[in-house]
Amino acid sequence: MKPPRFEYAAPRALDEALALLGEHGERAKVLAGGQSLIPLLNFRLAHPEMLVDINRIADLAYVRAADGGVAIGALTRQHVVERSEALRAQVPILTEACRFIGHAPIRHRGTIGGSLAHADPASELPAVMVALEATLTLSRARSTRTVPADGFFVGPLATALEPRELLTEIRVPALPRRTGGAFVEMARRAGDFALVGVAALVTLDGGGRCERARIALCGVGPTPIRARAAEDALIGQAPSVSALDEAAARAAAATSPPSDVHGSAEFRRKLARHFTREAIAEAARRAGGS
């Protein structure tokens, strides 16, 4: 099928894009990498009257140091995130997760902002940003606000973004010393969306006990799920088999997976348990534990 008719604008400056979004409000849609939006248009599942193409706004594509952490412009392509040496050094879990997104040509067009704004419950990056406690900058003409990643995803394909707002930046705070991270997932074929994905960050104290844990899952609920009870189970514990089993069981209990042709809810819950255990074990190992 062909997309419905729409007006098209390709501003070169952020101000211009925000003015267009302000003027057209709910009738406008932002076009970034197009890897999700173009199919939606072609299937006529989206009917914008105005498409604001942000691809020419070079100021929205960057990776830079900020407040001890890192700031990533929303238009940064997923393959740039994947290849960035700075990100690999500071937040290697992000590099690791990007490799699971579709295939290389998709990551060459797809943007980090597009992936977060699209908010597919099975997407890797939303879960990783929740685990990293990233903050998202949402801009509109004459104002900006920041939203924690945990509060940004409100339902399947639904976010806190309001009409007239553009996601402009993602800020990832510095990780504490002795933190290891791991992203693991299970998909039916390489490049497919995850049946379940788990992002785990574990910080160990000098004695090898867990002093901080952040765990988020994708594919097993309407939004990324932060598994706080699982995190609590790890605090003060050495990463033993029993501690990992308890945390994994708690993470699985926090999920509300769908049943579909790819797998039943029960199957996905079992996967969540297994892969949470695996992600925590690997994160703890990378943090310097055994």
Ligand X SMILES: Cc1cc2nc3c(=O)[nH]c(=O)nc-3n(C[C@H](O)[C@H](O)[C@H](O)COP(=O)(O)OP(=O)(O)OC[C@H]3O[C@@H](n4cnc5c(N)ncnc54)[C@H](O)[C@@H]3O)c2cc1C
Binding-site ranges for ligand X (CB under 6 A): 29-37, 74, 101-102, 106, 109-111, 113-115, 117-118, 120, 123-125, 161, 166-167, 193
CB of 99 to ligand X, least distance (A): 10
Long-range contacts of 262-269 (CB under 8 A, 24+ apart): 262/188, 262/195, 263/195, 268/195, 268/196, 268/219, 268/220, 269/220
- Whichever of 114 and 257 has its CB closer to ligand X, that residue is 114
- Whichever of 199 and 233 has its CB closer to ligand X, that residue is 199
- Whichever of 120 and 246 has its CB closer to ligand X, that residue is 120
Q: How far from the centroid of its chain's Cα atoms is residue 42's Cα? A: 25
CB of 142 to ligand X, least distance (A): 17
Q: Could you tell me if 59 and 92 are in contact, meaning their C-beta atoms sit under 8 angstroms apart?
A: no
- Whichever of 35 and 255 has its CB closer to ligand X, that residue is 35
CB of 180 to ligand X, least distance (A): 23
d(CA 136, CA 166): 10
- Whichever of 101 and 280 has its CB closer to ligand X, that residue is 101
CB of 95 to ligand X, least distance (A): 15
CB of 222 to ligand X, least distance (A): 15
Q: Scanning the structure block, which residue is given the tokens 């997309």? A: 3
Q: Is 172 exposed, middle or buried (0-12, 13-18, 19+ CB in 10 A)?
A: buried
The dihedral of CA 174, 90, 289, 202: what is its sign? positive
Please, what is the Cα angle at 185 between 95 and 35, to 5 degrees?
Answer: 65
CB of 277 to ligand X, least distance (A): 23
Go through the chain and tell me how many residues it has.
290
d(CA 132, CA 122): 17
- Whichever of 136 and 243 has its CB closer to ligand X, that residue is 136
